[in-house]
Structure 1
Amino acid sequence: MHVQEWLDSVPAVAVYAVVGLVIGLESLGIPLPGEIILVSAALMSSHHTGINPVVLGACATAGAVIGDSIGYAIGRKGGRPLLAWLGRKFPKHFSEGHVATAERSFEKWGMWAVFFGRFVALLRIFAGPLAGVLHMPYWKFLIANVLGGICWAGGTTAVVYYVGIVAEDWLKRFSYLGLVVALLIGLTSVLILKRKTRKAQTGQREAEPAGTGD
């Protein structure tokens, strides 16, 4: 079966559900490739007549907002022991260095950290639980959470959808290659963000001893 035919056979409801669930779990604090899933689904919507990009964006937004809110509640109730437990379960994502970096961002920027954290892979996982641990007022968290979710999920869906429409003829001729390239672009963007985060953490750790010595 041709890839295009296989994609057209996937029920739209299943795509909406997978996108909302994966993004929700990622926002909850579980390291999952939410951004890659959203990019792939948005690309599908550009040449899959059954997938509505508006509904897709709405499901992605709902998953992000609901997942973050549940993460906030868990973090507020679990406190720092929760971060320690997550560090043991997911050492690559919830190490002491990652927690310290995210905590400094929240203490310095507050609501802006929640909003812009939606666009950064590491903070996207931390936002809900850490805001709860730090006892950020829920109404502030909710406003930043909703606005960030709409801008990230809606914006990503719209951009990828319209890019897919423009490249539709090319994708029809090279379906396999088009899908691989789309997934690679999403994966590369995540890896670049992780690399920048690690560099920032290294710079902060090197600067802290110097500041302490003064």
Structure 2
Amino acid sequence: MTARVGVVTFPGSLDDGDAARAVRIAGAEPVRLWHGEAELHGVDAVVLPGGFSYGDYLRCGAIARFAPVMEKIIDAAGAGLPVLGICNGFQILCEAHLLPGALTRNQHLHFRNRDQILRIETTGTAWTNTFQPGQEVLIPVKNGEGCYVADPATLDELEAQGRVVARYVGGNPNGSQRDIAAITNQAGNVVGIMPHPEHAVEALTGPSLDGLGFFTSVLKHLVGTPA
């Protein structure tokens, strides 16, 4: 049976269509989920896409965290549902306390839009199991508030538990502490990533096909997950 991956649309989402396309290219069925509906429609995984949910008023992701659909996602993630938050989705995951830390204004106070090399540090997650440890991938980054910060104890804990999923290589585009580009929760089913893997899934439009691995990884994970 084809896996069904939900893609949430919030007011201000920009990359929900791209995320749905990436899911389809990976071989799954994308299911569009609406922010105002507290229903996941039986999906096997969820993607929180990039953009500016609710206009990024208050803080990025601060309002989206209270959307009706997030109530269901928070509960389901706690029960093991794979959830990937991309850019604004990463910010929402932090605001929802599904991931630690926060994403703040880029240190240089400029928006960054460029192709970025990442090093995959952790392959034991639902979203990175098709990569090799230390593999370098080329993924676009585009953010104004992508600087990952956390207190020293949290950063040390992430390092010690192997929960830093990816780091920036060849220059840090936003000043993120310890060059962190992506992290995971303890269970490995929730991943937040600031760069945009959904924009690196086709030769025609992406700088590489490296982003596809995030979406094929969750399909591999779901095959190995008992019903």
Whether these two folds match at TM > 0.5 is no
Q: Relative CO higher for 1 or 2, CA cutoff 8 Å, sep ≥ 6?
A: 1
More helix by share: 1
Max Rg structure: 1
TM-score (norm 2): 0.27
More strand by share: 2
TM-score (norm 1): 0.28
